[in-house]
Amino acid sequence: MSSSLASTWPVDLRVPPRKFPLVVGGLVVLFFGLGLLINLPIYVLAALPIAAALGLWIMQSGKIATFVFIACGCMLAFGKGTTNSATAGGGFDLAMAGIFSLVTMVWIGKLLIVERRSFTYDPAQLLAVSYTVWGLFIGIGGMLWWNNPALDWAREFFILCPIVLIPAFYERFFPADSEHERHLHRFAFVAAILVMVWATARYAINIATAAYAYQIGRFTFDTSASIIVLLVCFAFTLHRVKWIPMYVRIALASFCVGTLVIASYRTIWAASVLSVIVLFLIAPRTVWSSGLRFLLILGGVLASIGTYMFFQVKIFQVFVMMQYQRLLSSTELKTDPSLVNRYIETDIVWDYIKGSPIVGYGFGAKFQLFDWLLGMSFDYSYSHNGFFFVAFKTGIVGFLLIFTAYFWFMYKGFRIARDLTESPRVRALAGVGFCYLLCMLVSNYTLNIFAERNVLIWVTLFWGFFLSREIAKKKKANSEASTEVATLS
């Protein structure tokens, strides 16, 4: 790696050519042996050595490894990795997660042992990493003491890879206001739009497979992408950042609203409205007029298109009535069948939490769920309540680690969004990050963001952005202090 490149990308991920076959062979034996030990299925055993070799091979390319793995993470959102066994990925999904884990282990090892540097400069990120380490050990203990299935443990633990990898990579390899960072932002925004387009294209497929009408969109749309694009369009207009034309922003925002409505998540509806309101309120009052203008135009466009389609397209009329009835059912807190089912699930998980409150039961652990709608009981590893899910899997210790880190990052985003010394673009993005984290926190009550890898990818990208801004601010303050001392002397 050249000296100019090394100054931008300070840690060389490459393995010396002579040692490459030995390292790959060792990892193949290690992964295959561990897979046999914990009885992983044969297709996963076959995928792990391939993942190990591919991961090391990609790392040989130096700086491109960062782009590749963040790109893989964003694109994996198409697969919507989840702990819910009904919609979780298979062997390929686990293999890609294995690559993430491999890169993380090699990079951290070289960083701490060879380069003798700190893994991260930020205590909030250390708390988040500590949560994954804690989850790793508790998960292994769960397999030994509670007989948790190894495949379920691997699926749930690998979903946490973005928490370790993305903020640390961002903090070190994407300096604030650098061209690398701007490329990453463009890529993430385009990836979010592609996710929405892809989901819309798949929407018709689910009509024939969904068990309930409202599930047609639920199993298709990644609501995170829609929320982020909507917030970016609004924030950039609110802060008067020169960007794409207004009509394109309105078109994208209208598309986002449409996908959010189709997704049929009532909690997301409420959380999205809340995040837009908060994004408006935390902005300086001098720019409120721009935000109000954007919202009025967006509301007029949606009302016009909606009114025309309601009276001209019969299927759209049925769809609107269905969503309206679903919205009204939210007021029936004691009688709505879906809500009653969630209450039963929450009570069952809470009883399990009281049985092991400190350490939980480990990733891969299951509880016996009674489904009131189906009238049957079965083992289940997924909880819709994300707060209970974390406590059930990792106990009070894991709960405090991850949510302390989460709120700490929210505070970082809020502080940057309110800092008038930052550029309008930075304040807009920080506001989007803060409001997205707020939206996901509210949604976590019923949608469990810590079991969805695609959500964690977006969450940790914003964490990385906040870390990068803080580092830049500290460097600027130190530079100014040095200059002042030099002037006085």
d(CA 62, CA 208): 46
457 token code pair: 């990818």
Q: Is the distance from CB of 390 to CB of 353 less than 8 angstroms?
A: no
d(CA 57, CA 41): 25
Residue 59 lies in a domain: no
Report the run of H or E that residue 369 belongs to, with start and end: strand 367-371
Q: Is the distance from CB of 232 to CB of 189 less than 8 angstroms?
A: yes
Q: Is the distance from CB of 254 to CB of 304 less than 8 angstroms?
A: no
Model pLDDT, residue 76 = 45
Q: Is the distance from CB of 452 to CB of 222 less than 8 angstroms?
A: no
Residue 226 lies in a domain: yes
The residue among 135 and 159 whose pLDDT is bigger is 135
User: In this model, does residue 234 exceed pLDDT 80?
Assistant: yes
Into how many domains does the chain fold? 1
Q: Which of 75, 80, 33, 39 is closest to 52 using CA atoms?
A: 33
* Helices assigned H by DSSP within 329-423: 337-355, 386-417
pLDDT tens string 293-321? 999 999 999 999 999 999 998 878 887 88
Which of these ranges, 58-62, 300-304, 431-435, has the smallest mean pLDDT?
58-62
d(CA 99, CA 23): 15
The residue assigned the tokens 């049929």 is 264
Mean pLDDT of 138-161: 83
C-alpha separations of 349 from 147, 197, 391, 430 in Å: 18, 36, 9, 35
Residue 34 lies in a domain: no
Q: Which of 154, 37, 158 is closest to 104 using CA atoms?
A: 158
Q: What is the pTM of this model?
A: 0.82
Model pLDDT, residue 332 = 78
d(CA 383, CA 311): 40
Domain span at residue 309 reads 123-333+382-482
DSSP 8-class letter at 283: S
d(CA 177, CA 172): 13
Report the Cα–Cα distance between both ends of the chain, in Å, rounded.
Answer: 40
Residue 431 lies in a domain: yes
Our CA angle for 370, 151, 128, nearest 5°, is 90
pLDDT tens string 337-367? 778 888 999 999 999 999 999 999 998 899 9
d(CA 467, CA 430): 11
pLDDT tens string 237-258? 999 998 889 999 999 999 999 9
Residue 111 lies in a domain: no
User: In this model, does residue 205 exceed pLDDT 50?
Assistant: yes
14 token code pair: 């490459």
Residue 363 lies in a domain: no
CA atoms within a 13 Å half-sphere pointing along the CA-CB vector of 317: 6
Our CA angle for 265, 90, 380, nearest 5°, is 55
Handedness of CA 413, 80, 161, 393 (dihedral sign): positive
Residue 342 lies in a domain: no
Residue 423 lies in a domain: yes
Our CA angle for 275, 278, 281, nearest 5°, is 155
pLDDT tens string 72-97? 544 444 444 554 544 445 555 555 55
